[in-house]
Amino acid sequence: MRVTVDGITVRPAQGASLLAAVRLAGAELPTLCHDDRLTPEGSCRTCLVRSGGNVVAACVTPAVDGTVVEVAGDALRALRREAVEVIVAALPPYALDGGVDDRELARVCHAMGIAPQAAQGRGGRGRDDSHPYVHLDRDLCIACGRCVRMCAEVQGTFALTLVGRGADTVVAPGTGGPWAQSDCVACGGCVDTCPTGALTEPGLPLGGGTAAPARTVTRTVTTCGYCGVGCSLEVLTREGQVAAVLPDHEGPVNRGHACVKGRFAHGFLRSPERLTRPLLRRDGRLEPVTWQEALEHVARGLRAAVAAGGPDAVAVISSARATNEENYLIQKFMRVAVGTNNIDNCSRLCHAPSAAGLTASFGLSGGTDTFDDVETADCLLLVGANPIEAHPVIGARLLQKVLRGARLVVADPRAVGLARYADVHLRPRPGTNVALFHGLAHTLWAEGLADEEFLRRRAGGLPELLALLADYPPDRVSALTGVPAEDLVAAARLYGRAERPAIIYGLGVTEHLHGTDGVRTLANLAILRGAVGTARGFGVNPLRGQNNVQGASDMGALPDVLPGYGKVTDPLARSRAEDVWGAPVPGRPGMRIPEMFAAARAGALGALWIVGEDVCATDPDATRVAEALEACPLVVCQELFLSQTARRADVVLPAASWLEKDGTFVNFDRRFQRVRPALAPPGEAMTDFAVVHALASALGVDLGCRTPAEALAECGRVTPLFAGLSHERLDREGAIAWPCPDPRGPGEARLHRERFATPDGRAHLAACPYLPPGENPDDHYPVILVTGRRWAHYNSGGMTRRTGNILLDDTDRLDLHPADAARYGLRDGHPVTVESRHGRATLTASLSDDLVPGQVFCAFHFPSSGVNTLTSDHADTVTSCPEYKVTAVRLIPGPAAAARRGE
């Protein structure tokens, strides 16, 4: 297609607008209601051009072959200027004032020579400053609708609308009432796109998608340190403070979008509660000491532990919040300086079953495809994951996909998030996934929806699976899971008949007594359909949790594997590491997290070093965890805050956060991305990298790897998976997926295209029978408690509770069906005591139709409510991942003290 713009010929893509053609030609054409990410609206009349004899708004006029467009010319200029003058005249005088001169409107006015005095409106429509992060000045609203479209077309929350008529039209929350009480989830998209500053975040007056803030501001592009999505963020700092965090429009996963956590929840950085000095317990109290005293104390304690019980009397829980380079260094410290494999990370608590299950099925522990591919699927099977709240940027991308017509099957006991948009919503009883997946597999096979050619060429284990599936006809599965047989069949047909189906899943699959079986039997579905390792579907993809849980595991912060997943029991893998490290590597797998606690309680652990994990708040059966720490002679906790765990430690070391460190994270779809410091850590806090080095020095050990860049380079010499990666390359090229063996070759975002990474090159079907959960209700504990996440807080809440997010959500609620409320005498908004066989917690009852009777839900973001004293020590039989998703409880009206009195 050829279009001529003021005499210049350009070739825009099919379906492009005149505006796109004009931009291609490099002609100057202002816009106000336009944002490339949104459907054009043509309401501001700022982009008027002449085409085919008519004056048209370029943004809404499609380009057709041969179009001649006139942009320059005084008459057109005057028309456009008039349009802007009309808009500006209605605005209050401060609309074009100094502090706001970065906004698009101000820039357009400047370019057109419209003076600030042109703004002469009377204002008086008032502000809405009720929300902690999104403030509205109605007088600056020009009703361009960009915020409304952003909320609908990118975020998918549909929280905003335009109200009023004519010149009085203004944006407002669709629910009416103040912004703070609206459906807004504070992704910040509306603030970003607002061209006038009507919508701003408090602090820095920013607005306009391409806002160029004041010159005193420093910009740092880094990767978000909350969840595993891996959003690329641009951090603006001014005088040592974060002024704002904006989504990076080049971010490969987030593409200019973000969520309430990455975008706004940075207030914790300068919380007065931030740890700034090392603390040492003396006479029962934690007191500030110098780094030297603290490190010498730890070094003495480690030596004493080894002297008493050998190297295996020392253990570390490494942090999935920390960088790859830090995790690499910590595992090297344990293996080389201490001589033990006692290292684990919180992957144990979430996706260890994914690592085990995907490795058994396909040979590698990562998800099988890149999210960009997954998103092009025509049918999504979303299982036990709530990305709308837990991975909001992914949730938003998936939702848009569904709104554009992709079929959606959701399997989740709760009717939350994307379940509202599902073609079929399967609601299995918690803990019955394996039966559910067998039911789906049974139907795939029975209805001829399996890919027999793929199964013959590329898979193994079919006869065993078919023999097992005979026991899982829809009726029986319905009885086991509570899912109606017709829903099961409908879901199997959707997945089975789709051209390019994809499976995406979360903790609802893994955090069970048989979580690994869950992953494997879910993978069966993709194998049966030939929808993995082919172009006929997009495999099986876990939505990994923490910002760097994939990376912490990749770096070998696990008891049984070295960096790159070479087994510690494999002499070849060991010798490769030994060659690089110049030291022997112990060949016996170390302890997993629950084994560390058990060893401590048994008096067999002399020292436990905990880096960035609040085990006393987030590990299950928290009372027993506290007992373990109590019993361990030396507990070292490396933290940002005096967490529940730090309070019980003997030494507390103040750590830098993700906004204060240099390195890399690996996101949920295996992309390495750079992390860059935007600020210096407060007080004497140090990066985990520096702390490990300092501790090694205190023991007289030199770990090498002076810088994070050197650490990643060294890791690449230990394992071919990462050999092609370097900081320098990531700085140059941006995100790179592993496996990446070659510095000149690209990473492999799609796995298994030729052969699977299993020893025989085939995918392995798993014939594991359904087995019931570990926790089961009885007369005393008749209700099933499911635990999981809510959008405004993050895990222990240690960080998000110390930000404005606390104003969005200030308590741990127990969601329950009104029928259960009536049955147990509970009232909405009133305290409820939840008791399990293991502990007791006080929450606030919240009545909701999202739950079925007999099942209740809560998060664990407020440690003081004690949710993890309820959860049991039942754990996945293969990987020890806790059964967080099933706990039998009873419900008693009133707070715990009252409940006790009533006993």
Order of strands, sheet of 48-51, starting from the edge strand that comes earlier in the sequence: 8-10, 3-5, 68-70, 48-51, 54-57
CB of 511 to Mo ion, least distance (A): 9
Q: How many beta carbons lie within 10 A of that of residue 61, not counting itself?
A: 21
Peptide bond into 739 cis (omega under 30): yes
285 Cβ neighbours under 8 A, 6+ residues apart: none
380 binds, among ligand MGD, Mo ion, none (CB under 5 to 8 A by kind): none
Instruction: Please tell me whether residue 613 binds ligand MGD under the rule CB under 6 A.
Output: yes
68-70 vs 3-5, strand pairing mode: parallel
Nearest to ligand MGD of 81, 885 (CB atom): 885
Instruction: Please tell me whether residue 786 binds ligand MGD under the rule CB under 6 A.
Output: yes
362 binds, among Mo ion, ligand MGD, none (CB under 5 to 8 A by kind): none
Q: Which residue in the set 788, 831, 839, 863 belongs to the binding site for ligand MGD (CB under 6 A)?
A: 788
Q: How far is CA 813 from CA 545, 615, 790, 804, 810, in A?
A: 22, 21, 10, 19, 9
Angle at 720 between CA 719 and CA 724, to 5 degrees: 115
Find residue 887's DSSP bridge partners.
785
Instruction: Please tell me whether residue 612 binds ligand MGD under the rule CB under 6 A.
Output: yes
Nearest to Mo ion of 350, 374 (CB atom): 350
CB of 764 to Mo ion, least distance (A): 26
Nearest to ligand MGD of 193, 432 (CB atom): 432
325 binds, among Mo ion, ligand MGD, none (CB under 5 to 8 A by kind): none
Instruction: Please tell me whether residue 659 binds ligand MGD under the rule CB under 6 A.
Output: no
Instruction: Please tell me whether residue 397 binds ligand MGD under the rule CB under 6 A.
Output: no
| Interface with Mo ion: number of residues (CB under 5 A) | 2
Instruction: Please tell me whether residue 59 binds ligand MGD under the rule CB under 6 A.
Output: no
Instruction: Please tell me whether residue 657 binds ligand MGD under the rule CB under 6 A.
Output: yes
Q: Which two tokens stand for residue 92?
A: 């209050």
Amino acid 288 reads: P
Contacts with ligand MGD in 296-325 (CB under 6 A)? 319, 321-322
260 Cβ neighbours under 8 A, 6+ residues apart: 133, 185, 186, 187, 188, 392, 791, 792, 805, 808
Q: Which two tokens stand for residue 540?
A: 């099986």
CB of 658 to ligand MGD, least distance (A): 6
30 binds, among Mo ion, ligand MGD, none (CB under 5 to 8 A by kind): none
CB of 125 to ligand MGD, least distance (A): 34
Q: How many beta carbons lie within 10 A of that of residue 300, not counting itself?
A: 13
Please tell me the distance from the alpha carbon of residue 266 to that of residue 82, in angstroms, as a whole number: 42
| 48 φ, ψ (degrees, to nearest 5) | -65, 135
CB of 360 to Mo ion, least distance (A): 21
Nearest to Mo ion of 542, 545 (CB atom): 545
CB of 635 to ligand MGD, least distance (A): 14
Nearest to ligand MGD of 369, 688 (CB atom): 688
Q: Answer for the pair 198, 141: CB distance below 8 angstroms, yes or no.
A: yes
Instruction: Please tell me whether residue 617 binds Mo ion under the rule CB under 5 A.
Output: no
| Interface with ligand MGD: number of residues (CB under 6 A) | 62
Nearest to ligand MGD of 672, 884 (CB atom): 884
Q: Which residue in the set 614, 621, 650, 815 belongs to the binding site for ligand MGD (CB under 6 A)?
A: 614
494 binds, among Mo ion, ligand MGD, none (CB under 5 to 8 A by kind): none
Binding span for Mo ion by CB under 5 A among 304-312, 361-369, 538-546, 852-860: 538-546
Instruction: Please tell me whether residue 597 binds ligand MGD under the rule CB under 6 A.
Output: no
Angle at 745 between CA 739 and CA 748, to 5 degrees: 30
The string of DSSP codes covering 327-340 is: HHHHHHIIIIII--
383 binds, among Mo ion, ligand MGD, none (CB under 5 to 8 A by kind): ligand MGD
Please tell me the distance from the alpha carbon of residue 402 to that of residue 534, in angstroms, as a whole number: 23
Query: Where in 389-533 does DSSP place strands (E)?
Result: 407-411, 424-426, 459-460, 501-505
Nearest to ligand MGD of 251, 882 (CB atom): 882
Please tell me the distance from the alpha carbon of residue 276 to that of residue 272, in angstroms, as a whole number: 9
Please tell me the distance from the alpha carbon of residue 510 to that of residue 368, in angstroms, as a whole number: 17
Instruction: Please tell me whether residue 812 binds ligand MGD under the rule CB under 6 A.
Output: no
Please tell me the distance from the alpha carbon of residue 474 to that of residue 472, in angstroms, as a whole number: 6
Q: Answer for the pair 592, 880: CB distance below 8 angstroms, yes or no.
A: yes
Instruction: Please tell me whether residue 545 binds Mo ion under the rule CB under 5 A.
Output: yes
Please tell me the distance from the alpha carbon of residue 303 to that of residue 99, in angstroms, as a whole number: 59
- Rounded to 10°, the helix 593-601/622-631 angle is 60
Instruction: Please tell me whether residue 412 binds ligand MGD under the rule CB under 6 A.
Output: yes
CB of 620 to ligand MGD, least distance (A): 7
Q: Which two tokens stand for residue 880?
A: 């020890």
Q: Answer for the pair 473, 353: CB distance below 8 angstroms, yes or no.
A: no
Q: Which residue in the set 341, 361, 524, 643 belongs to the binding site for ligand MGD (CB under 6 A)?
A: 643
CB of 554 to ligand MGD, least distance (A): 16
794 binds, among ligand MGD, Mo ion, none (CB under 5 to 8 A by kind): ligand MGD
- x-marked contacts with ligand MGD along 376-395 as a string, rule CB under 6 A: -------xxxxx-xxx----
Please tell me the distance from the alpha carbon of residue 69 to that of residue 54, in angstroms, as a whole number: 10
The residue number with the shortest CB distance to ligand MGD is: 545
Angle at 420 between CA 417 and CA 424, to 5 degrees: 115
Q: Where are the alpha helices (DSSP H) in 734-879?
A: 818-824, 867-870
Instruction: Please tell me whether residue 328 binds ligand MGD under the rule CB under 6 A.
Output: no
Instruction: Please tell me whether residue 350 binds Mo ion under the rule CB under 5 A.
Output: yes
Please tell me the distance from the alpha carbon of residue 525 to that of residue 17, in angstroms, as a whole number: 42
Applying CB under 5 A, which residues contact Mo ion? 350, 545
Applying CB under 6 A, which residues contact ligand MGD? 227, 319, 321-322, 346, 349-350, 383-387, 389-391, 411-414, 416, 428, 430-431, 433, 506-508, 511, 543, 545-546, 611-614, 618, 638-641, 643, 655, 657-658, 688, 786-789, 791, 793-796, 798-799, 860, 867-868, 871, 884-885
